[in-house]
Amino acid sequence: MGVLETLLLTTALAGVVGTGLGGLVGALLQKDSNRTASLLLSFAGGVMLSVVCFDLITESIETNVGLGIVIGAVALGVILIFLFNHLIDRRVNPQVMHIDETHPKTADDLDELIHADHLQHHRARKDNKFSLFMAGVVMACAIALHNMPEGMTIGASFSIGDGAMTSSALVLAILIGLHNIPEGMAVSVPLITGGMSKPKAVLITALSGAPTIIGAVLGFLIGEIGPLGLAISLGFASGAMLYVVFGEILPQAILMYHSKLPAFSAIGGMLVGLMIIFG
């Protein structure tokens, strides 16, 4: 199997299969557990932090293209993902009744993070098909912004190993697949509650993981350009993932389950990440 085929298969399993499995669980149970999702997300976030900070960014610096370029690429990844998310939230949040001035300034549930609650709101009001379509587009964009950086980290990791499967790429793929399970549940449950058939909801949920593949290909192709491309790819993907972890996953995990356990779960994830990288 060639390099690109291996990359596509790996990210498809992490993105499409992981999200689709979550959609299937959501369809069968039609409920989710905030406690389980919170601890799973915070643990995955902790491991991702270790891989990003102690592996990917380190590899980016070791390309010797200059620390300024690496820092700039990381900052660009953070800023772009933040701006895109901010634009979507600013446009959509006022339309959802329960998100007002008393609401936390970040999502406190998975369906808010990917704006599945926005689609559910339009379905409950029985709005016209165009409104439902636009709500679906918004949800797809939110999921893409969440999944593409994850895919880029896998693709950039492949570039580190000259196209071979590295330990960091494998770990990231497994983690992304696991953390996509509760995300898939958050997609499928409101779709089914809104009247969509279970098979169709599971299929749409699985397809929502496809942006992971797009991100992986972009990260790999940029990294293959040369040392400068590799540094930019690793830096940008790392910055995007840092924003996803600190700006979305960890705050959301703590708000979903009001306890100290998400913090301990994230710390445990970081220690596991260190053992994987240096063990």
Instruction: Please report, in tens digits, the pLDDT of each residue of the chain (279 residues total).
Output: 677 788 888 888 888 888 888 888 777 775 656 787 788 888 888 988 998 899 889 989 999 999 999 999 999 999 999 998 888 888 777 777 777 777 777 777 777 777 777 777 777 777 777 777 777 777 777 777 778 888 888 888 887 766 566 667 777 788 788 778 877 777 777 677 667 788 888 888 888 888 889 888 888 888 888 889 989 989 998 999 899 889 888 888 888 888 899 999 999 999 988 887 786
Q: Are 51 and 274 in contact (CB under 8 A)?
A: no
Q: Rounded to 10 degrees, what is the CA torsion of 260, 261, 263, 264?
A: 120
* CA–CA distance, 84 with 154 (Å, rounded to integer): 21
0.85 surpassed by pTM:
no
What residue type is 124 in one-letter code? A
**Taking the CB of residue 88, how many other CB atoms lie within 10 A of it?**
17
Quick one: how far is CA 171 from the chain centroid? 15
Packing angle, helices 67-92 and 227-243, rounded to 10: 40
- Cβ-in-10-Å burial (0-12, 13-18, 19+) of 278 comes to exposed
Question: Taking the domains of the chain in order of start, what are their residue ranges?
Answer: 3-278
Q: Can you say whether the dihedral through the CA atoms of 34, 37, 43, 47 is positive or negative?
A: negative
Q: What pLDDT score was predicted for residue 162? A: 62
* CA–CA distance, 159 with 104 (Å, rounded to integer): 39
